[in-house]
Structure 1
Amino acid sequence: MVAPALHAPAVHPDTAMSARLTSRVDAAAVTLDLLPQSAAPFETATPHGTIGREQTEVVSDASSAVLDL
């Protein structure tokens, strides 16, 4: 199972498998495989709101690259 996680833009470089968000949230969306992850980082996560349609498409493209679609 994969899902995008948001990181500070300076922490994660812009790659084909990440997406830079600038609208509503300034972050780098990085698709992660959640199976080997523990629940702790997600329990302490901070919600930052939603992103728009264009930003969602960018995240979708990055996720597709990770899944090799």
Structure 2
Amino acid sequence: MPEWKNLDPELLKLVAKHDPDNKFAMPYMWATTGIGYNVDKVKAVLGENAPVDSWDLILKPENLEN
């Protein structure tokens, strides 16, 4: 693969944990997802004690019901 030399060496090390010689696997995708929300609106719906600094805000079913 001509562009192999451009792959991130740190990602190749991670892949090498499962494919020691990097013969069969390669990193092909990397992404970050940001999540933003209006704290005031969340508190208006869920109350002042809403877990605005926790994943509970979006992972607890009781919060999703509102």
Instruction: Name the TM-score, length of structure 2 as normaliser.
Output: 0.21
Instruction: Name the TM-score, length of structure 1 as normaliser.
Output: 0.21
Q: From the two aligned structures, give the one with the greater strand fraction.
A: 1
Pair member with larger Rg: 2
**Structure of higher RCO (CA pairs closer than 8 Å, 6+ residues apart):** 1
Q: From the two aligned structures, give the one with the greater helix fraction.
A: 2
